Structures are given as structure tokens and as C-alpha cells.
Structure 1
Amino acid sequence: MGFWTRILVNTIIFIAVAGFFSQSGAFYVASIWMAFAASFVLAILNALVKPILFLFSLPITILTLGLFSVVLNAVMLQLTSYFVGSNNFHFSSFGMSILVAVIVSVCNAIISSHFVSRRR
């Protein structure tokens, strides 16, 4: 899946998850454009910051059989919230960012596998 396709997919996922949790206020996205900006910032952070964090956390990631990568994804979402602005894109708790990280990861895995199978 290409760069812009992944950003578009993440934008749609952010809007859908924010809509799902809109009554509780656990995850908030101000607008479609803020979801797009958050997707773009997340892609940049995943390219620049995540490899460094992954390298530092490699021992605990091995110890937890890779489950710590979910926490790293949640940290990346929290950093995205910080850079985009917590008034526009925020989580009520770190647990909520873990849940959104799991949802985004599962959706991206399903969509990526669909794109790969379509190319064959």
C-alpha cells in the first residue's frame, strides 16, 4: 500500500473510531482535516521516531513476545496527539490510545493483505 493510500486509510479509520467513541468522549477528532493531519503526522513519526523507540525497547519487546509493540503504537498515537494539538485530536487515557492502536493496526493489516492479494 502506498504512502498516500495509507494516510487516507488511517484518516478514515480515525474518523470511524472517533465516531464510535463519540458518546463517551474517550477519543476525539475535531474534523476530517484534523484526522488527515493526524494521519500525516503519524506517518512521519512512524518513519522517523518509531525505529529509534523500537531499537531502545527491543529487549522488552522480545521478552513480551512482541506485545510491547502495541504499547509503542499507542505512544506514537500520543505523540501524534501532542503534535497535532490535544484540542483537535486527543485520547481520554493511555488505555484508550492502546485500544485505538490495536484497532488501527488490525484494520491496516486487513486492508494491506487485501491490497497484496489484489495485486497477484
Structure 2
Amino acid sequence: MFCSGRRPTAPGGGMQTISWNEFELVELRTGTVLDVQEFPQARTPAYIITVDFGDEIGVKKTSARVTHLYSRESLVGRQVLGVVNFPPRQIGPVRSEFLLTGFVQGDGSVVLAVPERPVANGLKLA
């Protein structure tokens, strides 16, 4: 999650645009945090987060640098948005299976992107 902080740019430095068809390929799904563990091997403070994305997607894990604003206890039971169709990525001893989404602030802290009210796990952002 939030690996480089760099954003893709178009030639000339402007914001890169994508087509509607490209956007529809991104599987942004809702899920509920089941478990949060410390990730002491991480270079930057991070958690190992396990999320239930419903029957179709299942349970997936990721590493996320959200320790500035969230305690482990405050994350369990919270609904989040994750990109679930990226290929898995090995981050040290953790196999990251989805990208937890959030907004990186100027100080590096991350505010999670979440549904504004409870919804079923596995719903796709439209």
C-alpha cells in the first residue's frame, strides 16, 4: 500500500487520463477488517491487515502503513476499500494480496478510504 507516493503523469507532466473501460478493470471492493498484527520487519511502521471481502473474493492480507492514525484495535471491524485484482506482492515475509486504499497527507499519515455507511462485503465501487 502507498509504495512510492509517486503519481503517474502524462507526457509533459500533466495528470494521466484513463478510459472508462480501464477504470472498470479496477476491482475496488468493500471488506471488513478481521485482524491486525504488528509488522516489526517493515522498514516503515506498518501493520499486517486481514480483510474479509465476502464470498466471491474471500479473505485477503496486506501490509499497510496506517500506524500514524489507527491503532490495531480501532481497525478491527472497520469497513475499508481495497483493490483486489492486483497480482500478489511479496513485502518481506508478507504476501500482500490487495491494496488498501487511503489518502496520503502532507505529513505522511494515511486516512483510509471507507464507505460512508455499512455495506455488504465484496461490493464493487461503481
Q: Which has the larger share of strand?
A: 2
Higher relative contact order (CA 8 A, sep 6+): 1
TM-score range, shorter chain: under 0.3
Q: Which has the larger share of helix?
A: 1
